[in-house]
Structure 1
Amino acid sequence: MANSSEKRGFVTLLIGLASLVLVIAGMRAVSGLLGPILLSLFVVMLTSPLMQWLKARGLPNWLAYTLVLLGVIFVGLALIVFLAASLAQLSAELPSYRNRIDTQITAFIQWLDSIGIQARDIRDLEWFQPERILQALFYFISALFGTVSNVGFTLLIFIYMLASAANFSSRLRYALATTNQPMLQRFSSFSSSISTYLLIKSWLGALTALLQVVLMWILGIDFAVLWGVFSFLFNFIPNIGFYISLIPPTLIALLTLGWAKALIFAVGYTLINNFFDIAIAPRYLGKGLDLSTIVTFLAVVLWAWILGPIGAFLALPLTVMVKILLLEPFPETQLLAQLMGAGEAGETPVVAVADSDREADNS
């Protein structure tokens, strides 16, 4: 009997892994369509509290919907126009940076020679050519243009999602309340936690980017507002988003202002980011989304591989959705869900606490 049970468990594991591979392959195959849909979904979750707040102030449903919709469309279109114009200007300026890059490399090699290091051959290395650096920057800009091109499609999906969000939410709650009460509690916990997280992360990222723009403006770094927008956007990518947003303005500062001001900028930029991440964010985010550091890093890599750049921005919400809605409800995967969490051993999971609170309220 034991061997039979072990065989069934092994077969079940293999079937589960095979199904997971098929699901991931399917998601990657339709990533061009799935990415904007998921992004629209989380934008709806971000703006829903604002819509509810407007309704609570006495505005009719149609007016609250119209105001939120117009606000999102305005922000989205303004973002498209600003990024397109700024990146076009940056693309036009990149060739002028070539001589500065060459000058910096020459000065660096001369400094190595002055301290007794023979570094003339470094200049002949293929990876050390200024053209390689410029090509990397152009590739980075092209990737950003590709991401921006999806914004219009995302806004179109968002319009229809927001229009049907209230009715769909009420129908879903009614269906789950009559068929699966625990899943309804988990869905409500997920929706509330993600909405709160995205809202707090947005205004913290905006404050961080604003101070960083002021720092860049004081130091005289080119395209300060563009790098501030990048800082805000990459604020949603955990672990590596900060470093990605730091590289371009630091390189520009190095080319235009020299080593000293580039170092001052990098230190100041890092201090501003750490102040909000370490001193301010925990006070408002609490335990966050209950994901360990290694899980958040791997989530960014995995979702970026599956969905492209949009996957990196949505890595945390998508991982929390999988953890709460697909792993925690089933005994076979509860251990995996617990291993993904950031809590200490013996702690009660955050969702379980929320569920028990709701059950106490209902009783």
Structure 2
Amino acid sequence: MSERSVPRAVVVLLGTAAGMISLFGLREVASILGPVVLALVLVIAVSPVRAWLGRKGMPGWLQVALPFLIVVLVLLSMVAILTVSVTQLATLLPTYARQFQDLIHEAQRLAAGFGIGNEQLNKALQSFDPGKILALAQGLLSSLLGVLSSLFLIVVLLLAMCLDAPITSRIIAAGHSERPGMVAALSTFATKTRRYLIVSTVFGIICAALDVGALYLLSVPLPLLWGVLALITNYIPNIGFILGLIPPAILALLDSGPKQMILVIIAYCAINVVIQSSIQPKFLGDAVGLSTTMTFLSLIVWAFVLGPLGALLAIPLSLLTRALLIDSDPSAKWAAALISGEMPAETAEKPGKPSAAPAPAPSSDKK
């Protein structure tokens, strides 16, 4: 007597429904989940430092303290630079009120030249009020205060995870005999995440330094702020470069006109094409293990769930999801190949096994 299996359509529908419920549930606790995931990713990033100290025979407290201090100093430095720069931006923007009005009048004149001069267009153009831009800058300052309030939670989580990292590593290693698939998947997740973070950080710093130099030569205000923004947006897949380009390009337009804005766009595009599109992929290789489509979808999904922090952590979160749901299941190799865009190794012709449609070999000697 054979058991009747559940129809594939029912499994897909139930899985989709469970996934949607899980995503909306995670969205409700985004204020907690975001710092937790960020702390986890940062601990994974500095884990080689702890391993190196362990191989050198350093005491346990130093293996915890040094990686923790490295991460905290990096976070505090970035927050300090952003706070000072955004404060300067809020002071600088009101001085461009006349330039805003000139741009509005020029846009109205160009629109009238193309026969577009209706009242709705004029209202839309005049809605670009410098006061709104100032309010936006003040909103950025408020959001920075929110980051500072979350920073305490992130630091506490970092300390707790750094303290638990050695015992957690031993527990995971001890479970290899019972759950080899899960242990291997988590190890692969940590390795790929660490490689992605290291490569993205190194090339992000290079791009940011070149961007700052280009903006300094072009006399664009606040080049350090836009350099830090370029470094942060380097972790956002697909659209990070555009997000990092828009603010300095607009500021160059207000400060020196369209020609300066075009030069900023050209400089950013040249740096991005050479560094991020040509050199960085050669070092990153297949560390991410996600196709272009899946990378873009992960950006949309995690930005929806966790907001801006989800956009920054889209790749690590997708790697963690893949490790827990796909890589740990030996029967889901086809799904891993689907999201990575790579042909599974099992499809290659195995030694001693005939292919699906072998071609008849001509006989060289006939009797």
**Distance (whole Å) between structure 1 residues aligned to residue 287 and residue 346 of structure 2:** 15
Q: CA deviation at 1:313?
A: 0.8
Which residue does 2:159 correspond to in 1? 159
Contact kept, 8 Å, 2:195 with 2:287, in 1: the verdict is: no
Match of 1:96 in 2: 95
What's the offset of the Cα at 1:252?
0.4
Relative to structure 1, the CA distance from residue 11 to residue 19 in structure 2 (aligned partners, 3 Å threshold; closer, same or farther) is same
Look at both structures and tell me which one has the larger radius of gyration over its CA atoms: 2
Figure out how many residues of one structure are paired with residues of the other and give that number.
345
Secondary structure at 2:221 match in 1: coil
Greater fraction helix: 1
CA shift at 1:151, angstroms? 2.6
Counterparts in 2 of 1:167 and 1:153: CA distance versus 1, 3 Å: same
What is the alpha-carbon distance in structure 1 between the residues aligned to residue 41 and residue 282 of structure 2? 23
- Identity rate, percent: 29
1: distance between equivalents of 2:279 and 2:57?
33
- Give the Cα separation in 1 of the matches to 2:144 and 2:252: 21
Residue 286 of structure 1 aligns with which residue? 285
Structure 1 length as normaliser, TM-score? 0.85
Greater Cα offset, 93-102 or 124-133: 124-133
Secondary structure (helix, strand or coil) at the match of 2:5 reads helix
Can you list the C-alpha shifts for 1:158-207, whole angstroms capped at 9, x where unaligned?
A: 11111211111111211x22311222222212211211111111111111
Q: Out of 228-237 and 54-63, give the one that drifted further.
A: 54-63
Q: How far apart, CA to CA, are the structure 2 residues paired with 1:139 and 1:216?
A: 25
Q: Which runs of 5+ in 2 are unaligned?
A: 348-367
> Is 2:90 the counterpart of 1:65?
no
1:131 aligns with 129
Q: CA 1:304 to 1:112, structure 2 compared with 1: closer, same or farther past 3 Å? A: closer
| Secondary structure in structure 2 of the residue aligned to 1:178 | coil
Maintained 8 Å contact 1:147/1:309: no
Alpha-carbon separation, structure 2, partners of 1:159 and 1:204:
28
For 2:32 and 2:13, the matched residues in 1 are separated by 29
**Which residue identity lines up with residue 126 of structure 1 in the other structure?**
A
Consecutive unaligned residues in structure 1, runs of 5 or more: 350-363
Q: Which residues of 2 match residues 10-159 of structure 1 at below 5 A?
A: 10-57=9-56, 59-111=58-110, 117=115, 119=117, 121=119, 124-126=122-124, 128-131=126-129, 134=133, 142-143=142-143, 146-147=146-147, 149-159=149-159
1:257-281 CA-partner distances (Å, limit 9, x unpaired): 1111110111111111221112221
In structure 1, what is the equivalent of residue 303 of structure 2?
304
Taking the aligned partners of 2:22 and 2:320, their CA distance within structure 1 comes to: 15
Matched, 1:177 2:214: no
**Structure 1 residues 123 and 140, CA gap change in structure 2 (3 angstroms):** farther
Aligned residue type for 1:190: F
* Aligned CA distance change for structure 1 residues 75 and 116 (closer, same or farther; 3 Å): closer
Counterpart secondary structure, 1:74: helix
What is residue 250 of structure 1 aligned with on the other side?
A: 249
Shift of 1:221: 0.9
Confirm whether residue 241 of structure 1 aligns to residue 240 of structure 2.
Answer: yes
8 Å CA contact 1:234–1:242 kept in 2: the answer is yes
